[in-house]
Amino acid sequence: MALWLMFVLMTAAAILAVLWPLSRRTPVHRGNDVAVYRDQLDEIERDRAAGLIADKEAEAARVEVSRRLLAAAEAAEATLETVVDSPWRRRAAAVVGLVLVPLIAASLYLKLGSPYLPGEPLALRAPGSQDNRSIAGLISQVESHLDRNPNDGRGWEVLAPVYLRIGRFDDAIKARKKAIDLNGETADRRADLGEAIVAAANGVVTADAKTAFERALVLDAQHLKSRFFIGLAAQQDGQRDKAGEIWRGMLNEAPPDAPWLQTVQRALAELQTSGQPGPNAQDVAAASQMTEAQRGDMVRGMVANLAARLAQDGSDVDGWLRLLRAYMVLGEREKAQAAAVDARRALANDPDKLKRVDEAIKGLGLS
């Protein structure tokens, strides 16, 4: 109701601004000029009769004043016609201001405006809420589109990184797989799938993720994202030398302005400062000649050695975190759960370390 009252007042003010000048009348003084010129003619005649001016001069003055008198008379007549006609023009302008202007304004508002929409609460009009609502609305629109058009590969490819950004990792994995099935296999799409699987596993390069990255490297041997995650997988498997070799190779080949340079440098620095024992160069060379089963046995042996070391000295929180991730990568969930219990017991007197372990346990789904 207040909105409509405001509109009425604004319309009334606009109409008043139009009608006010039309209501004012300006007096016309053209008739005074005619009277002055007639008085001048009479005065010229009196001066001639009194002998103050000669006949020839009097005649010249009479002609000039008569010419001005005729011009003034014509101007007065034209002004009179204008004054007579102006009321009708004012009435027409008043009708336009009173009727047509409000009618046109109301019609445009009813057609283009939204007079019947309810007001929004202030919280929903805040910038942050608007952004979140916009993102959620866009996601909902794309999802509705894909429900109707499930074979729209482009739609799945657009939606996947959005899912990843907002933490809907399972949906991101599904979208990545759909994009591969519908749009074809590329190194980028395989690597993106692996990245989504790693995110869902709280940073652990699982067997499925590693398979995706290896497939990407088959399609493009120099694929950067896949090389990085294969190095991360090697680090998590205890193969520090292999991880370092992969990451140093990436740094050596990188242009100075590569956007991923700092990420690899940071990972390599953490690797070099880590106290995690790993295989030496001979172990790596030997592993390259092994079968898949033999390499699996070697990894399990390294994990067993790490578990034995932690049983003797349980203060190494990083070691516990590596052990938990290693068990999950190997698919040995029960051993991971048992290691989680041992880690909590060993670090019970150190709240900061215990907090890190609890977060890792929650992230790995072991709680």
Mean pLDDT score, 94-114: 66
Share of the chain above pLDDT 70, in %: 66
Which one is predicted more confidently, 268 or 32?
268
Flag whether pLDDT at 31 surpasses 60. Answer: no
Q: 């709680």: which residue's tokens?
A: 367
Flag whether pLDDT at 98 surpasses 60. Answer: yes
The pair phi, psi for residue 113, each rounded to 5°, is -85, -170
Mean pLDDT score, 149-167: 90
pLDDT band at 73 (very low <50, low <70, confident <90, very high): low
pLDDT band at 277 (very low <50, low <70, confident <90, very high): very low
Most confident of 19-28, 96-105, 129-138, 323-332: 323-332
Q: What is the pLDDT of residue 257?
A: 82
* CB-CB contact of 202 with 364 (8 Å): yes
Mean pLDDT score, 233-242: 86
Q: What is the pLDDT of residue 123?
A: 43
Flag whether pLDDT at 184 surpasses 80. Answer: yes
Question: pLDDT by residue (tens digit) across 134-148?
Answer: 778 888 888 898 899
pLDDT band at 273 (very low <50, low <70, confident <90, very high): low
Q: What is the pLDDT of residue 220?
A: 94
Residue from 91, 224, 16 nearest 216 by CA: 224
Q: What is the pLDDT of residue 66?
A: 72
Which one is predicted more confidently, 133 or 220?
220
Q: What is the pTM for the complete model shown?
A: 0.45
pLDDT band at 328 (very low <50, low <70, confident <90, very high): confident
Flag whether pLDDT at 180 surpasses 80. Answer: yes
* CB-CB contact of 19 with 94 (8 Å): yes
pLDDT band at 311 (very low <50, low <70, confident <90, very high): confident
